[in-house]
C-alpha cells in the first residue's frame, strides 16, 4: 500500500463495502481494505476509527482488523508498545459496549489474543476482574472476554508454543475459582435475566472445555443447580435452553476421565437423569429444538460413562437407565433425534467387539435389538411417497448412515438371526409397502454379513425376491434389486439362481427409474460370480453395445462396463482379443465420430464419457498371461492408439479432457505392461511436445507410469531420462513463478512421483544426470508446501533417494549409488536438514510429521556423525523467543531433542521426538 491513507478514504471504502449497490464497487472496496489490513498502517487507523465511533460498520471493520493484526502480525509491534495497545483496547471495549454485541466480541477476541501473546501481562484474569468487577455496566464485556480467553488458548491462528500455552493454562486454572464465583454472583444479582444467564452459561462452558475447573469445587457449586433448574423448567426460552444444554455437554465432556472426577461425575449423572420428565414435556409440546437439546445431553452422558457402563453394567454409574434414555429418544417420530446418538452406538459396538465376552454381549443385546427395531421404523418412506427412494436428500443420507450403523452393531444380535426375523415379518404378515421396503433395506444392509454357505433362508429370500410382481410399489422393487446385488455371494454358491436373477435385473434395467440400481446389482454379480458369468458374456456384450439406450447414471454405466471387463478377463485367452475389440468398438466409433465433427457446428464434442468407459475396460481386463505368451489385449490397444492420440491433440488445451486421455492411456499401458513397447516412442514424443505449450500435470503422472513399466529395461533408460529432462524444464519455469509451488500442487505431486519412480527403477541413470541437482533444489523448496498429496510425494522422493545409498548393498551398482548419494548429500545435506526443521516447526500440519521423520531417519542412517552436526546447526537457527517476549524453547529442550533424535534406534522414536518438539512452536 502506497503511503498511509486518510481516515476519510478508509471510511468511504467501508461504506462502499456495505452499501455500494454495484457488486464491482463492493469488490474493489473489499480488495483495497484487505490490502490496508495487511499493511503496517492498519494498527493506527483501526485505533482512530474506534475512537471516532462514527457508525457500526466502521467500528466493526476496525475491531475485526485489530483482532486480525494481533493474531497474525503481532511481531510488527515493538514490545514497548504492548502496554499502550492493551490499555487502548480496554478503553475501546468500554466505550463501545452498547454499540453492538458483534463489535464487543471482536474486541474481546483482540484482548484475549493479546493477553495470550503478551508475556509481560501477568495474571490477566485477575487484573480484569479487579478492574471491572464492581461496575454492573461492564459485566457484559468482562464476561465476553472471560468466555473467549479459554477458547483462544488452543486457537490455530495463534502460534504461542507449548511452553507459553502450559504457563497460560496453569495461570487460568489458578484463577478459575475466582471466575466461577464471579459468574455465580452475576446470577444472584440479575436473577432470571435471560441474556445474562446465556452469557454466564457460555462462559462456564468455555472454562469446562479448557479442562481447568476444579471438579470438587464445581460439584457443590450453585451454578450447577441453576443449570439443571433451567433445563427442568418447561417455560425456559429456546436460546437459554440451548446455552444451558451446551454447558452441560461441555461439563460432561470435561469429566471424560470419570475416575478422577468422581464428585462432579455423580452430580452430573444424577442431574441428567432428572431431565427425562422435561424431555417428555418437550415432546408433548412438539418443541423439536428442546427435544434435540435433551437428546444431545443424554448422548453426551452415555459417551462419558461408556467405559463404566461396559465395565460394570447396571451398577452405580454404569446404570443402564442411560441407554433407556437414548432408546426413548430413538422412539421420537423425527429421525433427526435418533441420529444424534449414532456415534455413541458405534463406540459401544466397538468396545463390545474388542472385549468379545458373550455374557457381556448378552446384557447389551436387548438394547441393540430395540435400537434396530426403531431404526427400521425410521427408515420407512411416507406411505404417499411416489417413485424410488432418494439417495441424495437429507432422509436418503440418514438411511445410508443407518445402513452403516446396522453393519457395525449387527454382530451383537447375530446377522442370521436378525435376517431371519426380518424375513419372517414379510412372510407371515402382509405389511403395507412402506414397511416391506424398510425391512428389505435393513436386510440389504446385513446380507453380506450372513454366512452364505448352505443357507436355506438366504436361498428362499432370493427365490421370493426375484418373483416379486411388477405391480408392487416401485420403491419396493428398487430396494429388492439392491438386496439382490448384496446377495451375489449366495448366487455364486447357488448357480441355479443365476438365470432368474439376471432376468429379474434385466427387467429393472429396462425401466428408467430402476436402471441405475439394476446396473449396479449386475456389476456386483459380475464381480463375485466371474466364472459363472462367462457363459453370459454375449448378453453382457449386448448390454454394453446398447448402453445408452438404458437410462443410466454415468457411474452405473461405467460400473456395468467394469463388470463386463471382469468377466471378459475369465474367457479363454484366444477369445479375449476379439471380445475386447467388440467391447471397445462402441466407444472408439463414438470418438472417431467426434473427431470427424466440424468444431464450428456447435454440437457437443466432449469425449470424456467415451474415454472414461475405455479406461474402465482397460483397467479391469486383467487376464492371466503366462510368460512368453503375447498379451491378448496388445493388438486392440495398438489399434485404438491413433484415435486416442488424435483426441489428445485436438483437445490439448483442455486440462479436463487431457487428464481423461492420460488416464485412459495409463490403464492401457498397465493392462498390457511391456506389450505396449511400440507405443512408447510416439507417446513420449506427443506428451513432450504438448507439455511445452500446455503443462498439464497429468503428463508427468503418465510419465511415472512409463518409467515404472520400462525403467528396468536397459534400452529404454536414456529415452526415459530425455523425457524427464524435457518435462522438467517447463515444470521448473511454472514452479519458479511467484507462489508457483502453492498455486500448482498437482504439478509438484506428479513431478515427484515421476522422480521417485526413476529412483526406484533406475537410480544411477538419474543420479548421474545433470538434472538431479535441480530436482533436489526444487524438492528442498517444496518441503514447505502445506498440501497433503504434494508434500507426501516430495518427502517420499527425498526419503527414497537417500535410501538408495544404503539399500540392496548386494547389487553390483551399490558402490556407485552410495558414492553418488554421498556427493548429493555433501552438496545439499545441511540445507535440507535446516529446511526440514524450519518446515516442521512453522509450515506443516502435525499429520505430515511422520514423513519428515522418515527423511531425517534416512539421512541419519546414511551418515550419523555428519547428520548430528547438521541437526545442531539447524537447531541453532530456530527462534528462542516469541514476539510477545515468551520463551519458545529452552536450551535444555534443544539439547534434549538433539539427543533423542541422534540416539534413536528406530524411525518412530524420531517421529515422537519431532511431534513433541514442534509443539513448542505451534
DSSP 59: H
Task: Tell me which of 176-180, 256-260, 515-519 is least confident.
Answer: 256-260
Q: What is the pLDDT of residue 675?
A: 83
Q: How confident is the model at residue 159 (pLDDT cuts 50, 70, 90)?
A: confident
Distance CA 67, CA 772 (A): 46
Which three cell numbers mark 574?
A: 484366444
| Radius of gyration of the chain, Cα coordinates, nearest whole angstrom | 34
How many other CB atoms are found less than 10 A from the CB of residue 581? 15
Task: Quote the pLDDT of residue 599.
Answer: 65
Q: Is the pLDDT of residue 603 over 70?
A: no
Report helix, strand and coil shares of the chain as percent, to nearest 5.
Answer: 80, 0, 20
* Confidence bin at 1 (pLDDT 50/70/90): low
Average pLDDT over residues 340-349: 97
Q: Are 862 and 821 in contact (CB under 8 A)?
A: yes
Asked if residue 347 has pLDDT above 70, the reply is: yes
pLDDT higher than 70, residue 94: yes
Predicted confidence at residue 808, as pLDDT, reads 83
What is the pLDDT, as a whole number, of residue 192? Answer: 81
500 Cα distance to chain centroid: 42
The pLDDT, as a whole number, for residue 630 is 86
- Whether residue 768 is predicted with pLDDT greater than 90 in this model: the reply is yes
Which residues, in sequence order, are CB contacts of 492 under 8 Å at separation 6+? 452, 528, 529, 532
- The pLDDT assigned to 13 comes to 94
pLDDT tens per residue across span 838-863:
999 999 999 999 999 999 999 999 99
| pLDDT tens sequence across 890-917 | 999 999 999 999 999 999 999 999 999 9
Quick: pLDDT tens for 816-827: 999 999 999 999
pLDDT value of residue 369: 94
Cell 457395525 belongs to 408
At residue 881, the 3 state secondary structure works out as: strand
Structure confidence by residue, pLDDT tens digits, 632-671: 899 999 999 999 999 999 999 999 999 999 999 999 999 9
Res. 753 pLDDT band, cuts 50 70 90: very high
Q: Looking at residue 472, what is its pLDDT?
A: 92
Residue range 591-597: average pLDDT? Answer: 90
Question: What CA–CA distances, in Å, run from 157 to 72, 104, 205, 277?
Answer: 7, 20, 21, 43
N-term to C-term CA, the chain: 30
- pLDDT for the residue 604: 62
Spatial separation of the C-alpha atoms in residues 378 and 331, rounded to whole Å? 9
Average pLDDT of the residues in 676-701:
94
Q: Contacts for 893-899 with beta carbons within 8 Å, 24 or more apart?
A: 893/163, 893/917, 893/920, 898/868, 898/871, 898/872
Across the range 702-707, mean pLDDT stands at: 96
What average pLDDT does this structure show over 462-468?
Answer: 91
Average pLDDT rounded to a whole number, residues 107-111: 97
Mind listing the pLDDT tens digit for each residue in 20-67?
899 999 999 999 999 999 999 999 999 999 999 989 999 999 999 999
Closest to 381 measured CA to CA, from 340, 334, 434, 336? 434
Query: Would the pLDDT of 627 be above 80?
Result: no
| Spatial distance between the Cα atoms of 763 and 755, rounded to a whole number of angstroms | 10
Percentage of residues of the chain with pLDDT beyond 90: 88
DSSP secondary structure of 697-762:
THHHHHHHHHHHHHTT-HHHHHHHHHHHHHHHHHHHHHHTSTTHHHH-HHHHHHHHHHHHHHHHH-
pLDDT tens for each residue of 70-79: 999 999 999 9
**601 pLDDT higher than 80:** no
What pTM, to 2 d.p., does this model score?
0.88
Confidence of residue 600 (pLDDT cuts 50, 70, 90): low
Mean pLDDT over 696-706 rounds to 97
Averaged pLDDT, 251-266: 92
| pLDDT over threshold 60, residue 602 | no
Give the pLDDT of residue 624: 85
Spatial CA neighbour of 412 closest among 451, 354, 361: 361
Contact 436, 426 (CB under 8 A): yes
Place of cell 452469557: 199
Average pLDDT over residues 469-498: 94
Q: Determine which of 169-178, 183-192, 343-352 has the lowest per-residue pLDDT on average.
A: 183-192
Query: Across all residues in the chain, what is the average pLDDT?
Result: 94
* Torsional sign, CA 900, 905, 911, 912: negative
Alpha-helix runs per DSSP H in 96-160: 101-117, 124-132, 139-152
Answer whether 198's CB lies under 8 Å from 240's CB.
yes
Angle (CA) 57 59 64, round 5°: 95
Q: Are 658 and 651 in contact (CB under 8 A)?
A: yes
Distance CA 549, CA 547 (A): 6
Amino acid at each position: 500500500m502506497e503511503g498511509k491513507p486518510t481516515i476519510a478514504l478508509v471510511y468511504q471504502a467501508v461504506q462502499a463495502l456495505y452499501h455500494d449497490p454495484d457488486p464491482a464497487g463492493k469488490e474493489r472496496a473489499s480488495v483495497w481494505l484487505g490490502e490496508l489490513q495487511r499493511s503496517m498502517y492498519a494498527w493506527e487507523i483501526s485505533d482512530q476509527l474506534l475512537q471516532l465511533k462514527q457508525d457500526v460498520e466502521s467500528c466493526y471493520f476496525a475491531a475485526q482488523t485489530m483482532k486480525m493484526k494481533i493474531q497474525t502480525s503481532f511481531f510488527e509491534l515493538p514490545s514497548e508498545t504492548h502496554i499502550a495497545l492493551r490499555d487502548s483496547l480496554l478503553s475501546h471495549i468500554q466505550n463501545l459496549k452498547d454499540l453492538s454485541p458483534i463489535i464487543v466480541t471482536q474486541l474481546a477476541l483482540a484482548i484475549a489474543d493479546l493477553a495470550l501473546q503478551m508475556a509481560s501481562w501477568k495474571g490477566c484474569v485477575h487484573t480484569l476482574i479487579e478492574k471491572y468487577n464492581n461496575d454492573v455496566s461492564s459485566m457484559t464485556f468482562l464476561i465476553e472476554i472471560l468466555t473467549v480467553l479459554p477458547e483462544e488458548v488452543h486457537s490455530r491462528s495463534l502460534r504461542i508454543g507449548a511452553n507459553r500455552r502450559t504457563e497460560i493454562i496453569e495461570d487460568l486454572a489458578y484463577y478459575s475459582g475466582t471466575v466461577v464465583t464471579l459468574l455465580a454472583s452475576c446470577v444472584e444479582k440479575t436473577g432470571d435475566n435471560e441474556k445474562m444467564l446465556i452469557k454466564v452459561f457460555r462462559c462456564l462452558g468455555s472454562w469446562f472445555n479448557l479442562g481447568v475447573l476444579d471438579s470438587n469445587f464445581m460439584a457443590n457449586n450453585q451454578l450447577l443447580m441453576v443449570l439443571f433448574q433451567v433445563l427442568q423448567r418447561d417455560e425456559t426460552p429456546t436460546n437459554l435452553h440451548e446455552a444451558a444444554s451446551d454447558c452441560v455437554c461441555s461439563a460432561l465432556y470435561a469429566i471424560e476421565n470419570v475416575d478422577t472426577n468422581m464428585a462432579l461425575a455423580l452430580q452430573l449423572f444424577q442431574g441428567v437423569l432428572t431431565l427425562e420428565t422435561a424431555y417428555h414435556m418437550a415432546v408433548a409440546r412438539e418443541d423439536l429444538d428442546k427435544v434435540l437439546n435433551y437428546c444431545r445431553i443424554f448422548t453426551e452422558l452415555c459417551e462419558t460413562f461408556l467405559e463404566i457402563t461396559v465395565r460394570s453394567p447396571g451398577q452405580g454409574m454404569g446404570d443402564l437407565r442411560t441407554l433407556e434414555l437414548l432408546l426413548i429418544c430413538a422412539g421420537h417420530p423425527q429421525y433427526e433425534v435418533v441420529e444424534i446418538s449414532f456415534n455413541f452406538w458405534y463406540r459401544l459396538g466397538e468396545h463390545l467387539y474388542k472385549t468379545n465376552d458373550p455374557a457381556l454381549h448378552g446384557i447389551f443385546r436387548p438394547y441393540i435389538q430395540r435400537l434396530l427395531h426403531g431404526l427400521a421404523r425410521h427408515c420407512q418412506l411416507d406411505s404417499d411417497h411416489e417413485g424410488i427412494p432418494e439417495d441424495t436428500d437429507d432422509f436418503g443420507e440418514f438411511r445410508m448412515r443407518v445402513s452403516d450403523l446396522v453393519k457395525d452393531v449387527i454382530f451383537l444380535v447375530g446377522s442370521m438371526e436378525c435376517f431371519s426375523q426380518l424375513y419372517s415379518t414379510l412372510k407371515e404378515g402382509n405389511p403395507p409397502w412402506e414397511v416391506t421396503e424398510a425391512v428389505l433395506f435393513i436386510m440389504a444392509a446385513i446380507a453380506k454379513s450372513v454366512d452364505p454357505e448352505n443357507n436355506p433362508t438366504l436361498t428362499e429370500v432370493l427365490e421370493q425376491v426375484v418373483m416379486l410382481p411388477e405391480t408392487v410399489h416401485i420403491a419396493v422393487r428398487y430396494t429388492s434389486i439392491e438386496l439382490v446385488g448384496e446377495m451375489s455371494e449366495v448366487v455364486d454358491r447357488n448357480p441355479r439362481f443365476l438365470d432368474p436373477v439376471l432376468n429379474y435385473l434385466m427387467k429393472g434395467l429396462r425401466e428408467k427409474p430402476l436402471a441405475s440400481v439394476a446396473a449396479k446389482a449386475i456389476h456386483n454379480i459380475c464381480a463375485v460370480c466371474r466364472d459363472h458369468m462367462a457363459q453370459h458374456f454375449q448378453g453382457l456384450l449386448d448390454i454394453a453395445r446398447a448402453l445408452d439406450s438404458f437410462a443410466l447414471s454415468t457411474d452405473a454405466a461405467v460400473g456395468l462396463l467394469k463388470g463386463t471387463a471382469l468377466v471378459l478377463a475369465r474367457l479363454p485367452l484366444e477369445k479375449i482379443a476379439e471380445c475386447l475389440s467388440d467391447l471397445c468398438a462402441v466407444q472408439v466409433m463414438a470418438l472417431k465420430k467426434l473427431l470427424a465433427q466440424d468444431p464450428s457446428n456447435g454440437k457437443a464434442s466432449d469425449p470424456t464419457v467415451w474415454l472414461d468407459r475405455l479406461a474402465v475396460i482397460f483397467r479391469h481386463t486383467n487376464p492371466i498371461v503366462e510368460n512368453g505368451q503375447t498379451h491378448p489385449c496388445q493388438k486392440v490397444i495398438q489399434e485404438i492408439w491413433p484415435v486416442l492420440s488424435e483426441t489428445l491433440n485436438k483437445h490439448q488445451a483442455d486440462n479436463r479432457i487431457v487428464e481423461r486421455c492420460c488416464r485412459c492411456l495409463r490403464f492401457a499401458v498397465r493392462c498390457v505392461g511391456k506389450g505396449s513397447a511400440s507405443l512408447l516412442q510416439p507417446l513420449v514424443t506427443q506428451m513432450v511436445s504438448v507439455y511445452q505449450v500446455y503443462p498439464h500435470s497429468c503428463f508427468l503422472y503418465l510419465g511415472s507410469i512409463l518409467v515404472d513399466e520400462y525403467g528396468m529395461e536397459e534400452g529404454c533408460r536414456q529415452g526415459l531420462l530425455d523425457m524427464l529432462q524435457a518435462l522438467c524444464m517447463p515444470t521448473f519455469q511454472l514452479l519458479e513463478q511467484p507462489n508457483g509451488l502453492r498455486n500448482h500442487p498437482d504439478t509438484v505431486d506428479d513431478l515427484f512421483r515421476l522422480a521417485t519412480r526413476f529412483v526406484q527403477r533406475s537410480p544411477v541413470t538419474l543420479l548421474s544426470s545433470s538434472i538431479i541437482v535441480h530436482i533436489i533444489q526444487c524438492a528442498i523448496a517444496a518441503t514447505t508446501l502445506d498440501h497433503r498429496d504434494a508434500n507426501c510425494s516430495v518427502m517420499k522422493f527425498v526419503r527414497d533417494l537417500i535410501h538408495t545409498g544404503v539399500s540392496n548393498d548386494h547389487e553390483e551398482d551399490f558402490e556407485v549409488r552410495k558414492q553418488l548419494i554421498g556427493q548429493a548429500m555433501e552438496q545439499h545435506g545441511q540445507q535440507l536438514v535446516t529446511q526440514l526443521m524450519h518446515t516442521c516447526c512453522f509450515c506443516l500440519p502435525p499429520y505430515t510429521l511422520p514423513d519428515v521423520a522418515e527423511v531425517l531417519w534416512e539421512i541419519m542412517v546414511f551418515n550419523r556423525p555428519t547428520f548430528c552436526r547438521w541437526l545442531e546447526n539447524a537447531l541453532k537457527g530456530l527462534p528462542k523467543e516469541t514476539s510477545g517476549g515468551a520463551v519458545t524453547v529452552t536450551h535444555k529442550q534443544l539439547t534434549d531433542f538433539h539427543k533423542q533424535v541422534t540416539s534413536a534406534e528406530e524411525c518412530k522414536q524420531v517421529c515422537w521426538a519431532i511431534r513433541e518438539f514442534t509443539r513448542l512452536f505451534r
